[in-house]
Amino acid sequence: MPKIILTNPGPHHIIGKPLNKLNIKAGGVYRLKEGELEKRFNIKDWNVIIGKQIAKRTEYEVECWLYDKHLKKEKTLTDGQIKYRIFPCSFFFHRRSFSAQFLNALKKEVEAALEAKKKTGQNELIIHLNDYHTYQAYLILRHFGGKVPIVAQYHGVGPPFDTLINRPYLFPTAPLLWVESSVEKRLLKKVDAFLTTAYEREYLKRIVPERKINVLPTPADYELCVPADKKAAKKKLAKLGIKPNSKVMIYIGFFFKLKRADLVVKAMRELRCEMPDSDVQAIMIGGNPKDDLYKFVKNSGAIAIDRVAHEELVDYYNASDVFVYFASESMKKHAGMGVAPAEALACNVPLVSTNIQNMPISDIKKVGFVPKNEKDFVRKIKYVFEHPEKFRECRKIGEKYFSYDAVYGNYVRIYRELIKK
């Protein structure tokens, strides 16, 4: 049976401590209880999310591999469907980290897959890299590229030189970035299929044949994100100051200048002046005290919340009239559409966002707007507030592009093609 190994983009620094307490015999496997993976060990990575969906949709053996700087020795867990292997980190420095034990274990898997291929005539292993602008990815491509199929997925970290766009103070590292860029361009040619954003595609087109590049969105859980009566949903949030007739915009993300959280506050203030009888509110979720706009947002008059459990976000989406996001130039280029806008659409909430992607213009017009500038951002939010009847099919349209079936169905198609290759 073919095996899919999904790797995490970089090292953890939070799961190793609780895992160290597990007393597992050498070669043993710890059987996970319901919800224990996420709640006790805080393992919520993209490779885990994707792995669970692939396991549901295929007969393949699925494993999720991670590494952590606090872990002392390898731990293996299972939930009965997926095996989770977590390795110690050999060197920790953000995207320049790697795990030697991880790589040695992967070498054995590749060798076994190559032996199995001699009997079956098909590929028996696919390595799925979640993020590929990392040293760990470089090492995997260096040693195993061309031996087994490798899928590489973009997760928001750009090529080496893009570091200087947001951190110009790192200019003295330019010689190192030049070396990394040269090495990366050579190694990325060994990837068999990319899953990426429209912007990243432009970078990759200069390195690999375009047939290898698949522009796929981040999906939303359409079973979790279900529309509810708008007034009833607003009543649920009455303790936050939301009224049944409030006009509510919602923003989800860090309170960064990079994400232009300040423009959400500005739009809220301007619309409160333009629509004095409408009780305009802005719900802003995702702040961290270390964010550069944290204090500004907290003192702005917006409903600012640091963290909300994922399953509880649905109540906030359903109480909102529009999802808003105005990215900086850097974020327009590097970020995809994001999971939060896709979840908003699933709850039948329209978007006013600079980063609406992965659907034709004809459908974008039915689910919201891509604002041209800051003034247009405010105008479009106001239009959605005043004309909600024009955006009744957001969920239906979004489902074609952002549901699990739509997105992960494409992953499975790519896997099947590579296995037969």
Which SS3 state, helix, strand or coil, does residue 58 take? coil
pLDDT digits (tens, 9 = 90+) for 261-320: 999 999 999 999 999 989 999 999 999 998 889 999 999 999 999 999 888 999 999 999
In contact, 286 and 280? CB cutoff 8 Å: no
Superfamily of domain 230-402: Glycogen Phosphorylase B; (3.40.50.2000)
pLDDT digits (tens, 9 = 90+) for 225-242: 999 999 999 999 999 999
Domain spanning 3-216+404-420, CATH architecture: 3-Layer(aba) Sandwich (3.40)
Higher pLDDT, 215 or 45: 215
Mean pLDDT, to the nearest integer, of 184-203?
A: 92
Q: Which pair of tokens denotes residue 420?
A: 């037969």
**What are the angstrom distances between the C-alpha of 151 and each of 6, 170, 213, 224?**
9, 30, 10, 28
* Dist CA 303 CA 281 (whole Å): 7
In contact, 411 and 196? CB cutoff 8 Å: no
Residue range(s) in the chain whose domain bears CATH number 3.40.50.2000: 3-216+404-420, 230-402
Instruction: Give the pLDDT band of residue 214 (cuts 50, 70, 90).
Output: very high
Mean pLDDT of the chain: 90
pLDDT digits (tens, 9 = 90+) for 133-150: 999 999 999 999 999 999
